[in-house]
Amino acid sequence: MERKKEDRRVRITKQAIRESLVELMGRQPISKISVKMICEAADINRSTFYAHYKDQYALLHAVQGEVIGEVKAQIFSARFFGASGGAMDVLVRILEYGCENAALVKVLLSENGDASFQSELMQLAHEKFLAELEGERSLPPRTLQYLNEFAVGGLLSIMRRWLETDCADEPEMIADLMMKLLVSGTQGLYSAK
Amino acid sequence: MERKKEDRRVRITKQAIRESLVELMGRQPISKISVKMICEAADINRSTFYAHYKDQYALLHAVQGEVIGEVKAQIFSARFFGASGGAMDVLVRILEYGCENAALVKVLLSENGDASFQSELMQLAHEKFLAELEGERSLPPRTLQYLNEFAVGGLLSIMRRWLETDCADEPEMIADLMMKLLVSGTQGLYSAK
DNA sequence: ATGATAATAGACATTGTGTTTATTATTACA
DNA sequence: TGTAATAATAAACACAATGTCTATTATCAT
């Protein structure tokens, strides 16, 4: 909407800051990372950092926000249930995005990541589920909740593992596995194919 | 093994510190909690805190370690697969433990919690799976990995939700739901009952 | 009752934090 | 291409939490 307006210097600076954050978080949690460390790694002045972010946590939150924005766009781009293949397409696109930004997404989902990020992703998927399943009446509301949490938590865990293997398998294969596990559980792994 | 040796004063102090930590983490992430805050909430001297813990993160880690120890004991107390009802029993016991220590466990699994705690729980369940499924040859190793991650991530998410509803349903009911979802996926929710 | 030890109060140097100032370097664009 | 706008820098600053001491008081185990 209102992008492209940012000064080139700002873009370069922010990029350097973000890359340093990701690099540092590969080795330690955000709690052990100071603003000073980030600035030294990014080779920028500390005043410059404060011109853009309140502190290291605000920076992390901003970065997470961008990822969440991307996922949100994908997740709401199609119907998940009903339309055949809709869910697969969405999963494949999210997986592809994750793989393209592996260094970042991997660290956000890792043990050095932020629980609130994963919590926000849960919330996002939750909204999607509610939007699509609001007519669902055959299951008790609380069971629906559990199902939702189970699904998102499970899929997120698969994606985490997949990123840690450096996307060894094809996105389509992972999405297929996800769907099978969701719909038919472990039983789904033994039938056919 | 070598418990019961701790001075009464130490026990009281540590308990006060732990309770203050849990209370504070109900309202903010550990990154916003200083040693000073914990000491004021617990009404103890800051020097006393440093006599027991290196910093607030070491404290959190110690508390998490106790929970993990409890879960570990339960998880390895019986075979999960094979023996009928074994898995159910383990799940029920873990759920009961979580509910008895709801204030603590809830916060550790919340958005203010620590990703590394959840990561450690994953690792724990992973070891259990490997120990029991080492003979499994009908699925490719990587698929087995994904299945493991999916299962633990999904079950953990259900437990988180359950704790947030203040254990509204019975542990047996939750454990049953967990097993159904794991074995038969969403299909399992509609069949029989 | 007493020797051992935990908790306290207070002081201390250190470090990262945020903020500000003047100065330099880079950018957008007329 | 020249220039006004603005981003980045360097330096200084008060401030707050940190981590480590020491001397003193309170509590415990026996």
pLDDT score recorded for residue B8: 97
Confidence grade of residue B50 (pLDDT, cut at 50, 70, 90): very high
Query: Tens digit of pLDDT for each residue in B128-180?
Result: 888 887 777 788 989 999 999 999 999 999 999 999 999 999 999 999 999 99
Among the residue ranges A24-33, A71-80, B117-126, the one predicted with the least confidence is A71-80
Fold of B63-190: Tetracycline Repressor; domain 2 (1.10.357)
Query: Count H helices, E strands: chain B?
Result: 10, 0
pLDDT score recorded for residue A78: 81
- Where are the domains positioned within chain B? 1-53, 63-190
What would be the CATH architecture of the domain defined by A1-53? Orthogonal Bundle (1.10)
| pLDDT mean over A59-73 | 97
| pLDDT mean over B17-29 | 97
Residue whose C-alpha is closest to residue A148's, from B109, B131, B162, B59: B162
Q: Is the pLDDT of residue A3 over 70?
A: no
pLDDT score recorded for residue B136: 74
Confidence grade of residue B83 (pLDDT, cut at 50, 70, 90): low
Contacts with B162 from chain A: Cβ below 8 Å: 146
Query: What's the token pair of residue A150?
Result: 């189970």
Among the residue ranges B47-51, B159-163, B183-187, the one predicted with the least confidence is B183-187
pLDDT score recorded for residue A134: 73
Confidence grade of residue B32 (pLDDT, cut at 50, 70, 90): very high
Query: What's the token pair of residue A24?
Result: 């540092």
How far apart are alpha carbons A5 and A82 in whole angstroms?
41
DSSP class of residue B17?
H
Q: Is the pLDDT of residue B193 over 90?
A: no
pLDDT score recorded for residue A4: 53
How far apart are alpha carbons A70 and A82 in whole angstroms?
23
Instruction: Give the torsion sign (CA, A149, A154, A155, A156).
Output: positive
Query: Tens digit of pLDDT for each residue in A96-110?
Result: 999 999 999 999 999
Nucleotides of C under 7 A from a protein CB: 5-11, 16-21, 26-28
**Domains B1-53 and B63-190 are alike in CATH topology:** no
Query: Higher confidence at residue A167 or residue B139?
Result: A167
Helix (H, G, I), strand (E, B) or coil at A82: coil
Query: Tens digit of pLDDT for each residue in A27-50?
Result: 999 999 999 999 999 999 999 999
In the numeric block, the tokens 């397409």 are attached to A89
pTM above 0.85? yes
Q: What average pLDDT does chain B have?
A: 92
Helix (H, G, I), strand (E, B) or coil at A185: coil
CA atoms within 13 A on the CB side of A175: 17
Residue of B nearest to A28 (CA): B116
Decide if A185 and B189 are in contact by the 8 Å CB cutoff.
no
User: Which B residues, 101 through 160, put their C-beta within 8 Å of a C-beta on chain A?
Assistant: 110-116, 118-120, 122, 138-139, 142-143, 145-147, 149-158, 160
| pLDDT mean over B174-190 | 94
Burial class (CB in 10 A: 0-12, 13-18, 19+), A24: buried
**Distance (Å) from the alpha carbon of A75 to chain B's nearest alpha carbon:** 19
| pLDDT mean over A70-80 | 89
Query: Higher confidence at residue A133 or residue A190?
Result: A190
Give the nucleotide nearest to A7 (CA→C1'): C27
pLDDT score recorded for residue A193: 43
How far apart are alpha carbons B26 and B22 in whole angstroms?
6
Decide if A181 and B185 are in contact by the 8 Å CB cutoff.
yes
Q: Is the pLDDT of residue A86 over 60?
A: yes
How far apart are alpha carbons A173 and B142 in whole angstroms?
12
